[in-house]
Amino acid sequence: MDLKAPRGTKDILPKEATKRQYLERAFEDLCHRYGYEEIRVPTFEYTELFVRGVGDSSDVVRKEMYTFQDKSDRSLTLRPEGTAGVVRAFIEHGMASWPAPLKLWYKLNMFRYEKMQKGRYREFWQLGCEVFGASASTADAEVIGLLDAYFAGLGLEGIRLEINSIGCPACRETYKAALRAYYEPELPHMCEDCQVRFTRNPLRMLDCKEDSCSRLAEGAPVQLDYLCDDCKEHFTLVRQALDKQGIHYLVNPRIVRGLDYYTRTVFEFVSENVGTQGSICGGGRYDGLVHELGGPDVPAVGFAMGVERLMLEMEAQGITLVEKPGPDLYIASFSATSADALALAASLIRQGLSAETDLMGRSVRAQMKAADRMGAGFILVLGEEEVTSGQGTIRKMADGSEETILLDAIGTYLKENKEGKP
């Protein structure tokens, strides 16, 4: 039998997992310093949630969802994105009555049936944030600032921030009318999808990847020119709040975002390194979604960032992530003392250190080699004599210097002498 991981999925082997842990921990740490708390939502939801929450004219809903019937014939869908599930949880648990604003972050795998390309998988991971309850422009500027700080902290440079405002439902109607007027004469030359989009949601025509349609989109009217006074003011304030943080951006009136629930601010962080689509991260304000899904009127803003694309960007910029560090101590042993070595390692680990011993019954010589290969900080050979006398010789791998100390004192010794101690 030739069993392989399904098309579009991949195994994350230890080396890559270490890199991901680094990226994830940096994100978690930053989110916590910004006052965001983690939320985890189910891997699948009732299909209806995504149809209503993401929008039935979006590509995600129309083409990309993994939808199936369960044994009791309910239609379920593997989550293609995080926001809909988080909003569902927000409503279900009455979080509108929690202290506002509610600031959440998540780290979740997503599933989309898409054509495989560079940076495009069928199962991929997103890091995201959602802020509920704040309609102020500073909330938009905070989540954008968090991302900017994240990239800077990773040492990434030159990722372009593009922002736009797509208005509110009121000014959008005027804009849709302008779009239809623009597209109507060209409609016969457009793709089948766009024919449907024309009636359902002409905004989506701007996002079409077909050559002829995307050329037309370049000349289409832009929402920015149709903003109502409130939306205009909000956008100005977002920009001022970004300026104050020293964040550079480009106003790109062509950003529309693929999802239906966005209002006002939309943004993307883009780079040439992450595949044809170029987007590492996308987000925006979605003031209408909580109400749309049956909750109260609660404004919200957030983003989702693709981890695989982030990794492509790191690689392209030549930023090598720290490898798994070696143990503070490797304890080499003989068959008579292997359990003593294990017990000593266990006690060091309980003291907050890292330690490894041989589980393979290898010769001391082979164990020394293994310790060297894994980059151990110190090594100790534990023979019967050491066990009996309660003391041994600890050698620092970096310079070969040795010291004889009590086994009971090794924990303290390592804490005082190990590499990179605070």
Query: Which residues pair with residue 282 across a beta bridge?
Result: 268, 304
Nearer to ligand ATP, 123 or 186 (CB): 123
Contacts of 1 (CB under 8 A, 6+ apart): none
Shortest Å, Cβ 117 to ligand ATP: 8
Nearer to ligand ATP, 108 or 224 (CB): 108
| Cα dist from 384 to 330, 336, 343, 409, whole Å | 17, 7, 14, 18
Nearer to ligand ATP, 308 or 340 (CB): 308
Number of CB atoms found within 10 A of residue 418's CB: 16
Nearer to ligand ATP, 277 or 347 (CB): 277
Shortest Å, Cβ 135 to ligand ATP: 22
Shortest Å, Cβ 144 to ligand ATP: 14
Nearer to ligand ATP, 124 or 235 (CB): 124
Shortest Å, Cβ 269 to ligand ATP: 8
List contacts with ligand ATP (CB under 6 A).
81, 112, 114, 119-121, 124, 126, 258, 277, 279-282, 304-306, 308-309
Radius of gyration of the chain from its Cα atoms, rounded to whole angstroms: 27
Q: Report the residue number whose CB is nearest to ligand ATP.
A: 306
Q: Residue length, the chain?
A: 422
Task: Retrieve residue 219's tokens.
Answer: 């000349």
Apex 415 CA angle, 33 and 368, nearest 5? 115
Nearer to ligand ATP, 252 or 367 (CB): 252
Nearer to ligand ATP, 275 or 383 (CB): 275
Apex 351 CA angle, 348 and 355, nearest 5? 30
Shortest Å, Cβ 343 to ligand ATP: 46
Q: Rounded distance, CA 303 to CA 33, Å?
A: 17
Task: Retrieve residue 96's tokens.
Answer: 């509108």
Q: Where are the alpha helices (DSSP H) in 272-306?
A: 289-292
Shortest Å, Cβ 232 to ligand ATP: 25
Query: Which residues pair with residue 106 across a beta bridge?
Result: 128
Secondary structure of residue 29 in the 3-state scheme: helix
Shortest Å, Cβ 80 to ligand ATP: 8
Q: Among 261, 318, 242, which Cα is nearest to 56's?
A: 261
Nearer to ligand ATP, 119 or 133 (CB): 119
Number of CB atoms found within 10 A of residue 218's CB: 8
76 burial via Cβ count (<10 Å: 0-12, 13-18, 19+): middle
Q: Rounded distance, CA 355 to CA 340, Å?
A: 13
Shortest Å, Cβ 305 to ligand ATP: 6
Nearer to ligand ATP, 141 or 312 (CB): 312
Enumerate long-range contacts of 13-18, CB under 8 Å, 24 or more apart: 14/324, 15/323, 18/321, 18/322, 18/323, 18/324
Shortest Å, Cβ 268 to ligand ATP: 7
Task: Retrieve residue 130's tokens.
Answer: 């959602």
Helix (H) or strand (E) holding 129: strand 123-132
Nearer to ligand ATP, 88 or 309 (CB): 309
Shortest Å, Cβ 309 to ligand ATP: 4
Secondary structure of residue 418 in the 3-state scheme: coil
CA 68 to chain CA mean position, Å: 26
